[in-house]
Amino acid sequence: MRSRIFRFESEDIVVTWDYVRCIHVEACVQALPAVFNRDRRPWIDPSLATADEVVAACEACPTGALHYERLDGGSAEQTPSHNTLTVSADGPLFAKGDLKILSESGEPVLKETRAALCRCGQSRNKPLCDGSHREIEFTADSALTPAALERDDGDDPESCSLTIRVSDPGPLMIRGSAELTSDHGNDCAHVRTGAFCCCGKSKNKPFCDGSHALP
């Protein structure tokens, strides 16, 4: 996976921004426009708000493109108590929690708390989303299928790590415990294992149905 990281520093906090992982969701801009302003250079100025406000805005970034280092003695970002996978309409699968992304051979690639995983199959930074779904006008409903809602994986997500294993050209293999939701918030299921579509072709999204193997 590629990265291109920039640093923005004040007396109290350092903000790092990964240009490659940013897909312009603009959660940071909406949360704290004084600090995150794309019409200004540099576009991030952490001195224009309190460290706590900057922390909240960074943690609102669903892709993990934004992180921070406290210089004022404040605490570092905490790992969420349980994992969530949120299916976004026409976009990526947003993962949050104790995330461990592995290569196809099982080697650790990335340890994170937030990540956007490609669903359209066209990202040049797989398994992470790079915004290619907009270029190809990818369309996919975020509603969970009846098969997803009927899974019998137990009622409550557990506190544990969630491994996400690359299986190119196949699906993303998920193992652990996570709450699976749609971005409109009406559907919810608990999953422990699953093969998630990352080619954009499955008719059982967000799960794989083997369509990646078809000509």
Map tokens 């954009």 to a residue.
Answer: 200
Give yes or no for residue 15 having a pLDDT over 90. yes
Long-range contacts of 183-187 (CB under 8 A, 24+ apart): 183/86, 183/87, 183/88, 183/89, 183/94, 183/142, 184/89, 184/142, 184/143, 186/143, 187/143, 187/144, 187/148, 187/149
pLDDT value at position 129?
97
Task: Return phi, psi of residue 144, to 5°.
Answer: -75, 145
CA distance 17 to 7: 7
What domains are there in the chain, each with its CATH number? Answer: 5-70 (3.30.70.20), 83-210 (no CATH)
pTM for the full model? 0.94
Give yes or no for residue 163 having a pLDDT over 90. yes
Check residue 131 and give left, alpha or beta (phi > 0: left; psi -120 to 50: alpha). left
Give yes or no for residue 138 having a pLDDT over 90. yes
Among 146, 160, 168, CA closest to 192: 160
DSSP 3-53: --EEEEE-SSEEEEEETTT-----HHHHH-TTTB-TTSSSSB-GGGS-HHH
Q: Could you report the per-residue pLDDT of 24-77, keeping only the tens digit for each?
A: 999 999 999 999 999 999 999 999 999 999 999 999 999 999 999 999 999 999
pLDDT value at position 7?
98
Tell the burial category of 127 from Cβ atoms under 10 Å away from its Cβ (0-12, 13-18, 19+). Answer: buried
pLDDT value at position 215?
80
Report which secondary-structure segment, H or E, holds 154. Answer: none
Map tokens 């293999």 to a residue.
Answer: 173
Task: Say which residues have a Cβ less than 8 Å from residue 102's Cβ, sequence separation at least 6.
Answer: 108, 109, 163, 164, 165, 166
Confidence of residue 102 (pLDDT cuts 50, 70, 90): very high
Check residue 126 and report its DSSP letter: T
